[in-house]
Amino acid sequence: MCSIEEGDLADLRAREEAQHLKAQALSDTGPTLCQKCRSAPAVLLLRVNDIYCRDCFVAAFTHKFRSTLGKSRLLRPDEPALVAFSGGVASSVLARLVSDGASQTDSKRLRLRPGLLMVDESAVVPEQDVKEVERLAGTYRVPVYRAKLEAVMGDSGAPVVERVNCKLKEESTGDDGGTESSQAPPEAASCDSVSSEAAVLPDEARLAELRAQLQQLWSAAGSGTAREQLLERLRSELLARAALQLGIRLLLLADTETRLAVSLLSGLAGGRGAHAHQQTALADRRHGERLLVLRPLRELSSKQVALFAHHCRVQYVPGVGPDTMAPASASIGRATEEFVLGLQASFPATVSTVYRTGTKLSAVGAMTEDCALCRLPLDTSGGAASALQATRFSQMVSSSGPDRFQYDQHSADTAAGHSRATVLPPAAGNGSCGTDTPRCVESGGACCGGGGERCGSAQTVSRKPSREELLERLCYGCQLVVKDMKEVDNIPSFVTEEVAVRTRRENMRKEIQDFLIEDS
Amino acid sequence: MQLTVEFSGGAELLFGNVKQHRVTLPDRGDGDSVWTMEGLLPWLRDNLLKERPELFMQGDTVRPGILVLVNDADWELLGQLSYKLQPDDTVVFISTLHGG
């Protein structure tokens, strides 16, 4: 039914059949019939050979979504789940599928208790119509939560999300309490976790401060690509933190196949090859056991999603972002989208081929540390003879020019970096040349003496890591984002905290190095 | 000939942020009153589009990523550019591009 590998022969035959059907459709005077039920007139053409009527399409679409979720065998019965809701077409369709599925009464009921989580990005995307998104979220008769993007700049333990009271929600409890009462809101299940109502959001003044910090960070980002990437990472961190705060283990993202194919290719172009697998996988486990990020629309193309929204009258607001109405040259992401869709127009298998290839990729070698910004494995441990070192070397040569460049200097640096990497296993990711930056001697020494990584949080705040220290803890893709920044003073504190902790740990390990017994 | 033209998914941003337009296509001078999609697209671009024509059309067809439905049916089933428009047809343009 949903087999991935199909023989070339079958493909060829299907294509011939499709050509034939298409020809028939054009030559006949009457309407073409749906290929599936053969009774209703066909209204849409998906891929090469699927000609469907509206009802068969909606059924097939829903089935695909359910089977993607079901195949994963990752769901526990009646578990609460959060849908990341932007009000855009894909997340509106996902919200509709999940809420409709969960409110069915028969055996086909989707055994999830959904809630919607919307992110208020108005701090950096002033065009976003937050009120409208909120109104749309309210139409699904499930609990709605809202998180402001600027909250992600605050301390990592601080609450970021609040419940939104939607008018429609109240009306619905009055109208048909029957369907509503069978749906306990998600937080009722998470009795062992912190209740969302108990958590107090940062006050207005603090939020305004964070908002200003975010805006400064935003304007410091050097290019359209850097902004796009930064927004994606901050949003992903915020969604994760919100879900953790609410004690909900499942987070559903509405990434379509098309979107994933585009972000896979733009990710490769942006130096994130090592993460290609996590970025396209159904289940993203970067946050460990406490949070499972799922992409249940990943086998559906954006065309299917848009057609579903059209035929099922799903309301949505066009997802405005920093790249709205931007030309293809605005960012790598935009250019890649243009490229993929352009190819797709003449070769209808483009998107699925790219996407399926992405799912087969995986990173080689164990990566022990995670990137402080995107939380994906740190891919900067290539060793002395890696492509990364080659890039750095050529960067160093180009930036220093023929006169100032000294070969001995470079080889000494890499040798030092390399030997350090072999001596210190946890720091194995840092074979970078010239990272001999001053450590936090006084504060670092004092707090590392305390023995734990959380000992000196006050000192962490007091001292921001330098650009070099920061870059050392980031994966290559994130390094590119940060490198483009004019200044790094406004890097969110969850990143700087992480960097400080890692730096302290490394220093401590260095101090006690002689006493450690290592497996050889 | 009268038609209803709709834009959604962000395509409306190019058309003055109005989703639904009722348009009257003028008769072509040479007594040929048949309008095809091939003729409609440039007409929309020249008469209805408010900005950035390159985001709507590419060559003589729509930009990849914009879906076209005629009376709720995919225009790919109807012959795309060669489809002959009927009076009171509804033509829908849906942008599937990220960010509209």
DSSP codes joined into one string, A467-497: HHHHHHTS-HHHHHHHHT-S--TT--HHHHH
CB contact under 8 A, A42 and B52: no
**Cβ neighbours of B69 in A, within 8 Å:** 43, 307, 310
Mean pLDDT of A51-58: 88
CB contact under 8 A, A45 and B76: yes
**Cβ neighbours of A350 in B, within 8 Å:** none
Domain match, A342 and A432 both = no
CB atoms within 10 A of CB A50: 19
A318 CA: distance to closest CA in chain B (Å)? 5
Domain match, A141 and A77 both = yes
Do A99 and A142 form a contact (C-beta atoms < 8 A)? yes
Domain match, A141 and A83 both = yes
Final residue belonging to a domain, choices A319, A339, A359: A359
Lowest mean pLDDT among A249-253, A301-305, A358-362: A358-362
* Residue whose tokens read 């959380």: A454
Domain match, A457 and A313 both = no
List C-alpha distances in Å: A54 to A35, A44, A49, A458: 11, 8, 16, 60
Q: Does A258 touch chain B (CB under 8 A)?
A: yes
Cα–Cα distance between A137 and A116 in angstroms, integer?
Answer: 7
Cα–Cα distance between A336 and A281 in angstroms, integer?
Answer: 20
**Cβ neighbours of B60 in A, within 8 Å:** none
A463: pLDDT confidence band, cut at 50, 70 and 90? low
Nearest to B96 by CA among B11, B1, B2: B11
Domain match, A251 and A396 both = no
CB contact under 8 A, B100 and A325: yes
Domain match, A391 and A268 both = no
Mutate which: A28, A45, A227, A300, vs B, most B CBs within 10 A: A45
Q: Is A23 exposed, middle or buried (0-12, 13-18, 19+ CB in 10 A)?
A: exposed
Assigned domain for A368 exists:
no
pLDDT digits (tens, 9 = 90+) for A219-255: 888 788 888 888 888 998 899 989 988 889 899 999 9
Do A53 and A42 form a contact (C-beta atoms < 8 A)? yes
Q: What is the pTM of this model?
A: 0.79
Where b means 16+ CB within 10 Å and e means fewer, B7-39 reads: bbbbbbbbbeeeeebeeebeeeeeeeeebebee
Assigned domain for A2 exists:
no
Assigned domain for A372 exists:
no
CB contact under 8 A, A42 and B100: no
Mutate which: B36, B80, B84, B96, vs A, most A CBs within 10 A: B96
Q: Is the dihedral of CA A229, A235, A241, A247 positive or negative?
A: negative
Domain match, A346 and A395 both = no
Lowest mean pLDDT among A61-70, A460-469, B56-65: A460-469
Domain match, A264 and A314 both = yes
Do A148 and A136 form a contact (C-beta atoms < 8 A)? no
Domains annotated for chain B, with CATH where assigned, are 2-95 (3.10.20.30)
Assigned domain for A95 exists:
yes
CB-nearest partner of B9 from A89, A311, A342: A89
Domain match, A245 and A330 both = yes
pLDDT digits (tens, 9 = 90+) for A249-278: 899 999 999 999 998 998 888 888 888 888
- pLDDT at position A178 over 70: no
Q: Does B34 touch chain A (CB under 8 A)?
A: no
- pLDDT at position A449 over 50: no
Assigned domain for A10 exists:
no
Cα–Cα distance between A105 and A375 in angstroms, integer?
Answer: 39
Print the domain residue range for A92: 27-169+182-359
Assigned domain for A61 exists:
yes
Assigned domain for A75 exists:
yes
Lowest mean pLDDT among A323-327, A376-380, A511-515: A323-327
The residues near A452 (Cβ < 8 Å, ≥ 6 apart) are none
Mean pLDDT of chain A: 75
Q: Which residues, listed in sequence order, are joined to residue A79 by a DSSP beta bridge? A: A112
Domain match, A226 and A349 both = yes
CB contact under 8 A, B96 and A305: yes
Domain match, A432 and A480 both = yes
- pLDDT at position A155 over 90: no
List C-alpha distances in Å: A202 to A114, A131, A154, A158: 26, 21, 9, 8
Tell me the CATH number at A138.
Answer: 3.40.50.620
Whats the size of chain A, residue-wise?
520
- pLDDT at position A46 over 90: no
Assigned domain for A508 exists:
yes
Domain match, A347 and A455 both = no
Give phi and psi for B71, each to the nearest 5: 50, 45
- Report the domain count for chain A: 2
